[in-house]
Structure 1
Amino acid sequence: MYLDKAKIKQSFAAASATYDGVADLQRTVGKTLLNIAGSESVAGTLLDLGCGTGFLTSGLLANSTSIVALDIALPMLQVTRTKLATTQNVSYICADAEQLPLAEKIVDGVFSNLALQWCVNLGAVFADIKRVLRPDGQLVFSIFGPQTLQELKSAWAAADDYRHVNDFYSGQQLTHFLRQAGFTKIAIEIRLYNPNYDSVWALMRELKHIGAHNVMAGRNQNITTKAQMQRMIAAYEQHRVGDRVPATFEVIMVKAS
């Protein structure tokens, strides 16, 4: 998987002001992730990896001793800090999840909500998370799976030969990476979410506003032509049901220790 890290940082920094207005799926998944984790996991010192605008950080505050909120995009981190300005037990780090600036065995739990799909080398990320976790510490995360945006991917395939939609790892691949990193207890749950939109444009605007538009390295460097866009939209319209167009988001929930 090839991702342009500079573009990822730029996309999420640009989306910090619009993210909360359109991130319904992220909030829904975050609530589910907290339920899956259970209160026993949401205790001690926790790392919120890829905290975004702080929704999961807020949810983790109930039982934790302290939280480290980490994000690659400084504007996202600043939004979280503003929201939690009256909270004393949160520290903030602007850093890359693939280069954790943390000491060994320093946190009791690592949580991440729909952020790890933007990492280039997940195997190395899981190994580094294992390094910073204390013995018996848990990693709890959600991540997009390979069925995500399958309608958009097939529509673009009808328009040109370039890759416009990011690829995502399967549950089997994630399990392999986690075992390589030293995690032995791994529980996976897969859920499909199917929000509907007024138009293909509405879907694409939402993806842009959450910073989740294409960031693959080696993508088409040319401006997409009007004809290509029209072909893509025409292909996507074949999925329309009534006055709405659907989009599939496959979310993989993982608990590992």
Structure 2
Amino acid sequence: MTEGKRAIAQAFSRAAPNYDQASHVQQRVGEQMLALLQAQPGPVERALDIGCGTAALTLALTPHARCITALDLAPGMLQVARSNDRQRRLAAFVCGDAERLPFAPGQFDLVFSSFTLQWCEDLTTALTEIHQVLRPGGRLLLSLPVENTLRELRLSWQRAEQRYQHVNQFLSRAQVREHVERSGFHLLQWQEKLDVAFYDNVRSLTRELKTLGAHQVVSNRNRALTGRKTVFKMMSAYEHFRNHQGLLPASWHYLVMLLQKPDS
């Protein structure tokens, strides 16, 4: 495991006990994905949830698949997921990497992944791995944040300090489409979404991101503690986004995609 992935796994393991209390946007995204899945033929026999987290969404997949495997990079998340599966409805819990899936080719009819693959070092690698473990005709239901997610926070940090990256850079829509095309999937549905969350102050936002484990910056981050002066400059810059209701917005731009592996 690379240093970056080890840091991501540790961040999400720490976040696991309180994750569901803060994952409001992620829950709404999951509900949209489940609604899309409801319109698909099913249930299927075997499904895989990549980035299962606490298994809140994984358990909601049970009407759509008879045998579900839950996979996550973070051991702490899997520990919480197991405890949440009180009725033992899930077939297996696997600690693994989306870019090196530990499954046989053609093992699954459906792969589900919500707000996970943005953490991969190369999206094409992850999609190719998923393509491999799907049977011919199998489907991937996927969501991931894209460019301009947390734009307000990123711009505020840039005004305070330009040497380091404080907010992850997400792929553009065009880049995601290129990765999909390279991986060999057919694109069945492509939805572009925006969800804006509102906060009383910047600390509420950053505290929530930390609770989610989503504060982990993948590249060009400052490994030392950021100075108080810089933090206050960022918070002052964020005030420019405060709306007429006195709230600070945080924008989540994301895609929901339904992809299919060709039959032959």
> What per-residue deviation string (whole Å, max 9, x for no partner) do you get for residues 76-114 of structure 1?
111111111312442110111111000000000100011
In the other structure, the counterpart of 2:25 is 25
Matched, 1:240 2:237: no
In the other structure, the counterpart of 1:168 is 170
How many angstroms apart in 1 are the aligned matches of 2:191 and 2:258?
A: 9
The runs of 5 or more residues in structure 2 that have no matched partner are none
Matched, 1:6 2:6: yes
In the other structure, the counterpart of 2:252 is 249
Q: 1:221 to 1:41 in 2, by over 3 A?
A: farther
Shift of 1:159: 0.4
Q: 1:132 to 1:57 in 2, by over 3 A?
A: same
**3-state SS in 2 of match to 1:247:** strand
In the other structure, the counterpart of 1:71 is 72
TM-score, reference length from structure 2: 0.93
In the other structure, the counterpart of 1:214 is 216
The count of aligned residue pairs is: 256
Aligned pairs for 1:30-41 (under 5 A) are 30-37=30-37, 38-40=39-41
Structure 1 range deviating more: 134-143 or 182-191: 182-191
In the other structure, the counterpart of 1:141 is 142
In the other structure, the counterpart of 1:129 is 130
The runs of 5 or more residues in structure 1 that have no matched partner are none
Aligned pairs for 1:188-207 (under 5 A) are 188-207=190-209
Answer whether contact 1:191 1:252 (CA < 8 A) is retained: yes
2:227 aligns with one of 200, 225, 228: 225
**3-state SS in 1 of match to 2:225:** coil
**3-state SS in 2 of match to 1:62:** helix
Structure 1 residue identity aligned to 2:109: D
Structure 1 residue identity aligned to 2:185: F
How many angstroms apart in 1 are the aligned matches of 2:113 and 2:70?
A: 10
TM-score, reference length from structure 1: 0.95
Aligned pairs for 1:46-65 (under 5 A) are 46-65=47-66
Structure 2 residue identity aligned to 1:225: G
Report sequence identity in percent: 36
